[in-house]
Amino acid sequence: MAQLWGGRFTKETDKLVYNFNASISFDQKFYEQDIRGSKAHVAMLARQGILTAEEKDQIEAGLDGILADVKSGKLEITSEYEDIHSFVEANLIDRIGDAGKKLHTGRSRNDQVALDMKLYVRDEIDETDELVKKLLEALQKIMEENVHTYMPGFTHLQKAQPVTLAHHVGAYFEMFVRDRSRLADIRKRMNTCPLGAGALAGTTYPLDREYTAQLLGFDGPTRNSMDSVSDRDYVIELLAAFSTIMMHMSRFCEEIIMWNSNEYRFVEIDDAYSTGSSIMPQKKNPDIAELVRGKTGRVYGALTSILTTMKGIPLAYNKDMQEDKELTF
C-alpha cells in the first residue's frame, strides 16, 4: 500500500523496517480523536474557502461513516495501514473518491498526532478525575460513619497517640484532593491546539487556527509551531500525576493489608474482594490490595521511560516520540 510520505521513494520499504516503524498496532486507540480532529480541520478549511461546502459535506459524511463502522465492528483497523491517520485517509478516499484526498490539506502527521495525543490525554484526565472523585466520596462516607471510632495512630509503625478512624482516613482524603487539583492544573496548561503547526513551520494555506481550537474545545492555538509538534510535557505531567495517585493508593493498600492481618485485626476484607489459599483454608488474602501496590511500579516505569525518551531529542519532531503512546495507554 502507498504511504502518505512515499512521494520521492522508488523502492519498497523493507518489511522488517515497515513493521518496526508502524504504529497502527497501538495508535488505533486514537481513531475517535483522529476523526474528531479531522472534522474540525475540514470545517475550518471550508470556512476559509480552501474547500468547497460540497467537499466539506462529503468528507464529514465519510468520516462519520468510518467512525460508525469502526464502533460497530463492521470496519476493522488492520496492520495493512502504517498508522491511524493512514487508515482513516485511505478508507475515506475509498468511500468518497478524490474529495477524500483533500482531507490532509494544510496539515502534517506531526501536528495531527500531537492533536490526537492532546485530545486523548484530555479525555483521560476527565475520566481519571471522575474516578478519583468517586474514591473521595467513598472515603468521605467512611469518615462520616466513623467520627467516634477510636484507633491508635502510629509513627515508625509503633502506637503513638489515639485518633479516630475518620481522622486517619481523612489523611488519604487530603492526598486525593491534591491529586484532583494536579489533574486540573495539567488539563488547563495543556489545553492549546497544535493543528496548523504543520511538520514544524506551519503552511502557506490561510488557516484559521483560532477557529479550529474553538471547535475542539481548546482555549486557543499553540504559540510556537516547532514546540507544538515536539512538546510532550503534558504526557510527562500526566504520568507524574498518575504516579503520585498510585503512590497514594499503594500507601492506602499497604495499610489495608496490615490491618487485615491476624496481627492487627482492625478490618476484615469482604469475601467478594479477597481470595483464599489452595492449601490453607483458614486464609483470606488481600490480593487486590497487593496487586494495586504492585502495579504502582508499572506507572513509575512509564514515567521514567518517557522522561528518558525525551531527554536527548533535538527540535522538532523525531520518531522517538512515538514511544509516548504505549506508555500513556
* DSSP letters spanning 223-282: S-HHHHHH--HHHHHHHHHHHHHHHHHHHHHHHHHHHTSTTT-S----GGG-B--SS-TT
Q: Is there a cis peptide before residue 316, judged by omega within 30 degrees of 0?
A: yes
Q: CA neighbours within 13 Å on the CB side: how many for 254?
A: 12
Three-class secondary structure assignment of 167-231: HHHHHHHHHHHHHHHHHHHHHHHHCCECCCCCCCCCCCCCCCHHHHHHHCCCCCECCCHHHHHHC
Is the distance from CB of 131 to CB of 104 less than 8 angstroms? no
Buried b (16+ CB within 10 A) or exposed e, 282-301: eeeebeebeebbeebeebbe
CA 49 from centroid of its chain's CA atoms = 34
Instruction: Give the distance between the most distant pair of CA atoms in the chain.
Output: 78
Q: Which is the catalytic residue, given 25, 79, 261, 277? A: 277
Q: Is 41 a catalytic residue?
A: no
Amino acid at 205: Y
Residue carrying the nine cell digits 522488517:
16
Render 50-86 in DSSP notation, one character per residue. Answer: SS-HHHHHHHHHHHHHHHHHHHHTSS---TTSSSHHH
DSSP 315: S
Pair 92, 32: CB distance under 8 Å: no
Catalytic residue status for 148:
no
Catalytic residue among 156, 230, 248, 250: 156
Active site positions, annotated? 156, 277
